[in-house]
Amino acid sequence: MKYFELKGNERYKFTPRLINWYGGFDVRNIRIDKFYKLPNCHLLEIESSEGTIFPDAIFFPFLLVSPMIRNVIKMYGDVSHFRDIILLDAKCGKSELYHLPVFEETRDLQIGYKIYDKGSCKIEPEKGADRILTMKRNIFWVHDGQKRHTIISQDLAESLLRREAIGIDLQEIVLYKKEKKENR
């Protein structure tokens, strides 16, 4: 099975920018074992702008997805929980409903990015083929110590593309088992 990292499309420059989001709820609770501490519904203000485009996914400061993406994720039946987030532009009188997803997360995997150049594929970083993994999930998070990566299966990616999701980008990846450091 092929996997992709779900990212924001950098061509969308006028996406909502959350303001005063820090302290609204504890972002450390955006985890499968602590999601129950998150409010069921929360209002967040966005920077006022006439040209704001509401994409199907917002990636900063945390992942927010549109109702369409939420419905597609739920179709695949993976363990996931959602909290409602309303984004409000008070000056322009705009608001939009998003969902804050919480997925299973692992720190035991490493990501290798597939880069295509002149018809050939290179994987960075290179790893042994014996360590390549296939997961039995369609969406999950991989935490590499610095960042949380949203990983989706090819099937889920195709479902999102068929529904013409806007504001997302996909980077093909390979998943590896992390090497365990030996104690000396």
- Output 27 or 117, whichever has higher pLDDT: 27
At 43-67, the pLDDT tens digits run 999 988 878 889 999 999 999 999 9
Model pLDDT, residue 90: 86
Model pLDDT, residue 104: 94
Model pLDDT, residue 126: 66
- Output 120 or 153, whichever has higher pLDDT: 153
At 127-138, the pLDDT tens digits run 655 576 777 899
Model pLDDT, residue 58: 94
CA angle 17, 169, 155 (to 5 degrees): 125
- Output 101 or 27, whichever has higher pLDDT: 101
Rounded distance between C-alpha atoms, residue 144 and residue 164, angstroms: 30
Around Cβ 169, how many Cβ atoms within 10 Å? 15
- Domain residue limits, the chain: 13-102, 105-177
Q: Is the confidence at residue 184, as pLDDT, over 50? A: no
